Amino acid sequence: MFPRNIKVSRSFSSPCSDIWQLITDTHTWPQWGPSVIAVECTDRFISQGTEGRVRTAAGIWLPFLITEYDEGHFWSWKVAGIPATGHRVETQEDGLCQVTFEVPLLAAPYTFICNIALDRIARILE
């Protein structure tokens, strides 16, 4: 079976609940997301069906929709109607929290941006 996504992961010693709060808080997206410089959304914390728009690093405003949402574990979205990254948070057996970005195969170069996002998350959590 051919994979549909490329996964980029990192483990953190912070509680998964803290990381989940960080990555679902639209106010913090510009802090850790290199491709997002601003967010307009009526919901501070996302959930299934949350809609808004993001201003990209290129300065363009694009609409987004949260298409999948499993509280505390996973969310994914569409940006400008196109399936974008999935965001997964899982507690590992060693007690660490693993954060995984799932990037559609057709957007494989975006894994570079996801690694920068993981670096930024690490700095925020320090």
Q: How many domains does the chain have?
A: 1
Q: Residue 2 pLDDT > 70, yes or no?
A: no
pLDDT digits (tens, 9 = 90+) for 50-102: 999 999 999 999 999 999 999 999 999 999 999 999 999 999 989 899 999 99
CATH number where 113 lies: 3.30.530.20
For the chain, the distance separating the N- and C-terminal CA atoms, rounded to the nearest angstrom, is 39
Q: Which residue's entry shows tokens 């509680």?
A: 15
Q: What is the pLDDT of residue 4?
A: 85
> Degrees (nearest 5) of the Cα angle 76, 95, 112?
40
Q: Which domain holds residue 65?
A: 5-125
Query: What mean pLDDT is predicted for residues 101-110?
Result: 93
What is the percent of the chain with per-residue pLDDT over 70, rounded to a whole number?
A: 98
